[in-house]
Chain A
Amino acid sequence: SAVISQKPSRDICQRGTSLTIQCQVDSQVTMMFWYRQQPGQSLTLIATANQGSEATYESGFVIDKFPISRPNLTFSTLTVSNMSPEDSSIYLCSVEGDIYGYTFGSGTRLTVV
């Protein structure tokens, strides 16, 4: 299965600022997925990113707040914009494996103060 490197692993940010999270995959993949996991909660899909097209956002998530880039088949970024304490979560990227389900990065633990 694919190996995903996600950076940063954690960060503490001031409210009102933005943080860009990077996700690098060791193989070419068509779709990449970004999830949010709030403290003690399950995973919620933010958006699906295809290379060369606009990301598709789930209900409750908007591009202005969570802009996504997908410049090639191995890389994507998620930006959390104009952060507030409610954005404190773990953010995870994921790709669909060819056989063995979906693989996840190790996540970015974001704390907004």
Chain B
Amino acid sequence: GQQLNQSPQSMFIQEGEDVSMNCTSSSIFNTWLWYKQDPGEGPVLLIALYKAGELTSNGRLTAQFGITRKDSFLNISASIPSDVGIYFCAGQRGRLYFGRGTQLTVWP
């Protein structure tokens, strides 16, 4: 299957700090999606990106669809304790392909 390389694998940050994570692939995708998964829950969509170069914000979250269509990044500004969770990138080409996730821990 398609490989999505998501990094970093985990992050430990202080409340108020900014966070950046990214996903790269050797394949082109039509859509990039970013999800957050809390313990015991299914993934919840944060941001969807549909066009190469697109930059989209959702509150403190900003994501971009890479110009080559092979990568995407997600930034979280001024992190808060409830940002804790696992963040997954997903590329869509017919079906979804998921990255391995970034485990975010926020210290108060």
Contact = CB atoms under 8 A, between A and B. Distances in A.
Contacts of B101: 42
A102 B40 contact: no
A59 B48 CA distance: 27
Given A101-B33, A106-B42, A42 B100 contact: yes
A43 B98 contact: yes
Interface string A1-21: 100101001000000000000
Contacts of B60: none
Contact of B33 (A102, A105, A107): A102
B44 to A, nearest CB: 7
A42 B88 contact: yes
A46 to B, nearest CB: 11
Contacts of A104: 35, 42-44
Specify which of A100, A101, A103, A107 lies most central, judged by the most chain B CB atoms within 10 Å of its CB: A101
B42 A92 contact: yes
A100 B48 contact: yes
A59 B88 CA distance: 22
Given A94-B96, A104-B42, 16 more contacts: A4-B42, A43-B98, A44-B98, A58-B1, A59-B1, A92-B42, A97-B45, A100-B48, A101-B45, A103-B45, A104-B35, A104-B43, A104-B44, A106-B41, A106-B42, A107-B40
